Amino acid sequence: MKAIAINASPKMDKGNTAAILRPFLDGMREAGAEVEVFYAAKMKINPCQGDLACWFKTPGRCAQKDDMEMLLPKLASADILVFATPVYVDGMPGPLKNVIDRCLPLVTPFVELRDGHSRHTSREGTIPSKVVLVSSCGLWEIDNFDPLLTYLKAICRNMKREFAGALLRPHCPAFKSMVDKGEPVDDILDSAREAGHELVRTGSISSQSLTTVKGRRDHQQARTGFHLCVLGVGQLRFIDCLHERRLQECESGVRRGAPPTALSGFPVNG
């Protein structure tokens, strides 16, 4: 089973997204998948020129000469595609959008009805792969991933791919700092690895693995994030320390199975 992962973070392996992507891909490899990773920041992939040459002049081939010549056949023939990306202004960083736009040669100008909706037909030789989203964001609430999720699911419907799930980690800079400091976050890393196993072995990811990766954030915590913002830059260092501690308490509370209400509140005054 062949898998292609594209990491769209400009920070590549040092980024927050990679902290979730790494164990997930390890799990896929352990389960027998052959995984190749590409970094959007390292590749030279220009924006689509919109000339539709890949449809009408040289069907299946883009006129531009850049790294997409190498990547496109891999995207066409992989069994699993993993798009790993930070949330950038409610979307994805530009280089990943370029990759996706430049996938147009994988479909034809012809249209068919699928599930009552007009969709372009796939070009011959393109595998209807499974697609996974791995994403991290800075804010607390899980709905910060909604625009990205909606977009990726739409791509799957239009390009005849199967959306197989999303590993989402909100408030990821704090999680990454816990990873870097060797704080106990093994349950989250293990769940990401287990998700990779499950995907390769069963073709899907269990909701338990997905839930553990994203953690549990209640509304009180979301308000806490807002408090952090309005308190002002001068207090940020102090608050950061408190917040880090609060996050650790939260994470360990989640591990102990404490209900979200027990994890709410924020010790702003010490």
Looking at beta carbons only, is 11 or 29 nearer to ligand FMN?
A: 11
- Residue from 23, 27, 86, 95 binding ligand FMN (CB under 6 A): 86
Nearest approach, Cβ of residue 91 and ligand FMN (Å) = 8
Q: Per rule CB under 6 A, is residue 88 in the interface with ligand FMN?
A: yes
For residues 109-138, which are near ligand FMN according to CB under 6 A?
136-138
Looking at beta carbons only, is 27 or 86 nearer to ligand FMN?
A: 86
Nearest approach, Cβ of residue 237 and ligand FMN (Å) = 18
Beta strands in 147-212 (DSSP E): 162-169
Question: Does residue 236 contact residue 244 with C-beta atoms inside 8 Å?
Answer: no
Provide the CA 253 distance to its chain's centre, in angstroms: 25
Looking at beta carbons only, is 145 or 159 nearer to ligand FMN?
A: 145
Sign, CA dihedral 9-13-16-18, equals positive
Looking at beta carbons only, is 15 or 95 nearer to ligand FMN?
A: 15
Q: Per-residue string for binding with ligand FMN, 7-36, x by CB under 6 A?
A: --x-x---xxx-------------------
Helix axes 236-256, 219-230, angle to 10 degrees: 170
Residue-wise burial string across 29-58, b where 16 or more C-beta atoms lie within 10 A, e elsewhere: bebebebebbbbeebebeebeeeeebbeee
Which of 245, 193, 201 shows the shortest CA–CA distance to 22?
193
Residues in contact with ligand FMN by CB under 6 A are: 9, 11, 15-17, 86-90, 136-139, 144, 172-173
